[in-house]
Amino acid sequence: MSQLDRRSMLRGIMNGAAVAMALPLLDVFLDVNGEALAATGQRIPIRFGTWVWGCGFVPERWIPTSEGSDYVMPADLEPLAAYRKQMAILSGFDVKLDGVANKPHVTGTLGLRTGVPVPNETVRAPTIDVLMGEVMGQGTRFRSIELSASGIERSYSFRGAGSPNPSETSPLALYKRIFGEGFQDPNAEVFAPDPEVMVRKSVLSAVSDDRQRLMKTLGSSDRQRMDEYFTAVRQLEQRLELQLQPPAKVENFTVPKAPGKTVVDAEIGNVMENHKIMAGLLAQALACNQTRVFNMLFSDTASNLRRSASSDTHHTLTHEEPVNPTLGYQEQSAWFAAQSMVACRDFVDALAGIKEGSGTLLDNTLLFAHSDCSIAKAHAVEGIPMMVIGGAGGRVRTGFHKAGRADSAARVGLSIQQAMGVQVEKWGAGSMDTNRTLTELVA
C-alpha cells in the first residue's frame, strides 16, 4: 500500500554531517572523455608519473608574482611557456616537520611523496607513485618504471621502509628492458575484459531497475532529482562499459630503434642527452601500454650535476658559492636550477610529441614535477616547488599559479590521488594531515 507521497522529501543521507567539502565538477571529465570515446569508441588509459629535480630553485626566478591564470611567466619557467595552459604551478606549500629532524634533501622529498615527515629513508607510508600504481598500474607489463638521468641508481619510489625501487640509469639498458626480450607488439595483444568490471556494471543495471516504478510515484521536482540520480548511474555504467572494450589501438606504433651507447655520468651535458633519450623511450613505452606509472629522477635531490671540467656539483655550489650581491642569489647554483627547467621541458616535449586519440600522450598523463627543497643552501622544506603538468584525461585543471601560503604540501598529494581515482579522503600525518582538496586543481 505504501506509495511515495507526491511531494515527499528526498534528502541525501550524508546530510548535515561534516561531509561538506568537494565540488561539483568532474562532469567536465566525463564530457571530455565521453566525447572522445563516443567518437572513437576507444579507451585511452591515463598515466601518472613524477619528475624530480634536486636542490630547489631561486624563488624570485621561479615563483610567479601573481596567482591565477594571468601570471607573468617567471624567468626560470620560460622554457615551459609553451605548456602554460597544461601546467599548474604550485608554490608555497610546506612539508611540515613538526619537529622531525630534517635530513637534507631526503626529508622534504619523502615528506612530499608520503605525507609524513621522516628523519631518514625509513618511510612511514608508500610514496604517492606506489599508491597510484595500485589503482592504475594493474594489468601492464611493468607496474612502474623508474629512471634516473644522472647516473645514480636511486629513486624516491618506496613501497615501504627499506628498499626504494631502483632506477634505470642508461638509455640502452632502458631500451633493452622495455623493447628487448619479452616485448610484444601492443596491437597484437589479446584482450580479456575484466570480470569484476562486468559484475560492477550488472550491479548498476540492477540498481536502475527501479527507475520506472520510482519515477511514477514522484512529484515533478522530486522526479527531476531522481532522474538526475539515474542519469548519473547511467553515466557510470557507460564508463564501465568502456572498460569492457579492448584498449585503443596504438596508432602508428613502430618499435623504436635502440639508442647508441652514451656516457652515463653527472656531467650536465651528458645528463641532458641521456635524459632526453630516456624520456623519448619512456613516452613510447607509455604509448604502447608497457606501464602507466613512472618516476624520473632528473638530478638527485642533493643534485650531483656538474659542469664539464669542474669539480663543483650543483649541490656543493648551493652550500659553498657566495651569494652574488648584485643578483641577490647564488649565480652558478641558479644556472643549474634554470637548466633543470629546460630538462623538464624536454621531458614534457617527449610526452606531447606522441599523438593519442584526438590529443597527445601529455593530455592523458598527470606529471607531478617537484624538487626536494625550496632554497637549497638552507635545506628549506617550506615552499618546495611543485608543478602538475598534463591533462590526466581531463581529470585535472591546469593553467594557473596557486600560492600555498604555508599550507600543507600533502594537499597536493591528496588532490592528485583523488583526481586519479585513488580512494582517499585524507592524507598525511601530524600537521601535514589534510582532507582539503585543492579545488583549483581537482574540480
Partner 1 sequence: MFAPDVPVTGRFERALREDGLIAVGTSHGSMSAFSVEQYDVSARSIAAAVTSKERRAQFVPCQPKSETEFDKACASKFVQQYGGQLFRRPLTVQERDRFVTIAGAAQQKLGGFYKGLEFALIGMLDSPQFLLRMDRSEPDPAHPGAVRLDGWSKAVRLSYFLTNSTPDAELLRAAATGELHSEQGLARQVERLLASPRVEMAVRAFFWDMLQFDGFNDLFKDPSIYPGYTVAAAADAQEQTLRTVVSHLVQENGDYRDLFTTRKTWVSRPLGILYRMPVGTRNGWEQAEYPASSARAGILTDVSMLALHSHPGRSSPTLRGKFMREIFLCQRVPDPPANVNFSVVQDAVNRPGSTARLRLAEHNDNPVCAGCHKLTDPLGLTLENFDGAGGFRAKENGVSMDLSGALDGEDFVGPQGLGQALQDNPGVPACLVEKMYRSAIGRDIAGPEEPVLEYLVGRFESSRFRLPQLMRAIALSKSFYAVQNQTGLVLQKTVAVAKKGDRS
Partner 2 sequence: MKLADFKVVKTPVLALKAGAAGAAIIVAASLYLDHSAAAARTEPASADARQASGAPLPVADTANIFSDGQAGFVVSKIAYALGPDEKTACPRGMTGGVRGLIEAYSRTPAGKMREGEPLNAYERRLSESVHTAADGRNLCMFPAAGGPDPGWQMVQGKGLKVEGIDLDGSGAGKKAGGATCSHEEFQGTNGERGVDNQFYRVVGCTTGFQPTGQANSYETEMLTGSWGILVTVRGVDDPRNDPEIEVGFYANADPIQLSASRVPLSHATYTADGNPRYQAIARGRIVDGVLTTEPVDVRFHNVVNSMNQDRELRSARVRMTFTPDGGMEGILAGYTPVESMYDLQFGVRNSKNAKGELAPERLRLGTSMGRAGALGYSCHGAYHAMLQAADGHKDPATGRCTSLSTQYRIRMAPAFVVHGSSRSTNSSLITG
Q: Summarize as ranges the residues that interact with partner 2 (CB under 8 A).
A: 97-104, 107, 116-117, 119-120, 311, 316, 319-320, 322-323, 325, 377-382, 405-407, 429-431
Does residue 83 contact residue 400 with C-beta atoms inside 8 Å?
A: no
* Closest distance to partner 2 from the beta carbon of 96 (Å): 9
With CB under 5 to 8 Å by kind, the binding choice for 103 among partner 1, partner 2, none is: partner 2
* Closest distance to partner 2 from the beta carbon of 372 (Å): 14
Could you tell me which stretch among 14-22, 273-281, 364-372, 380-388 binds partner 1 (CB under 8 A)?
14-22
The pairing of strands 365-370 and 386-389 is antiparallel
Q: Does 173 sit near partner 1 (CB under 8 A)? A: no
Distance between CA atoms of residues 226 and 102, nearest Å: 53
Could you please report the per-residue DSSP string of 214-264? HHHHS-HHHHHHHHHHHHHHHHHHHHHHHHTSPBPPPTT--PPPPPPP---
What x/- string results for residues 391 through 410 when contact with partner 1 is judged by CB under 8 A? --------------xxxx--
Does residue 107 contact residue 100 with C-beta atoms inside 8 Å?
A: yes
The Cβ of residue 245 has, within 10 Å, a number of other Cβ atoms equal to 13
Q: Does 418 sit near partner 1 (CB under 8 A)? A: yes
E-strand ranges in 291-358 read: 293-297, 355-356
* Closest distance to partner 1 from the beta carbon of 212 (Å): 13
Nearest to 161, CA basis, from 120, 128, 109: 120
Q: How many residues sit in the footprint of partner 1 (CB under 8 A)?
A: 65
Distance between CA atoms of residues 153 and 164, nearest Å: 10
Distance between CA atoms of residues 153 and 42, nearest Å: 37
Burial bucket for residue 144 (CB in 10 Å: 0-12, 13-18, 19+): buried
Report DSSP state, residue 165: P
With CB under 5 to 8 Å by kind, the binding choice for 192 among partner 1, partner 2, none is: none
With CB under 5 to 8 Å by kind, the binding choice for 381 among partner 2, partner 1, none is: partner 2
Distance between CA atoms of residues 56 and 36, nearest Å: 38
Q: Which is nearer to partner 1, 95 or 389 (CB)?
A: 95
With CB under 5 to 8 Å by kind, the binding choice for 69 among partner 1, partner 2, none is: none
Cell digits for 200?
A: 560492477
What x/- string results for residues 176 through 215 when contact with partner 1 is judged by CB under 8 A? -------------------xx-xxx-xxx-xx-xx---x-
Distance between CA atoms of residues 358 and 381, nearest Å: 40
* Closest distance to partner 1 from the beta carbon of 3 (Å): 7
Could you tell me which stretch among 72-80, 82-90, 224-232, 297-305 binds partner 1 (CB under 8 A)?
224-232
With CB under 5 to 8 Å by kind, the binding choice for 32 among partner 2, partner 1, none is: none
Among 52, 172, 178, 226, binds partner 1 (CB under 8 A): 226
Residues in touch with partner 1 (CB under 8 A): 1-27, 30, 195-196, 198-200, 202-204, 206-207, 209-210, 214, 221, 225-226, 228-233, 235-236, 405-408, 418, 421, 423-425, 431, 436-437, 443
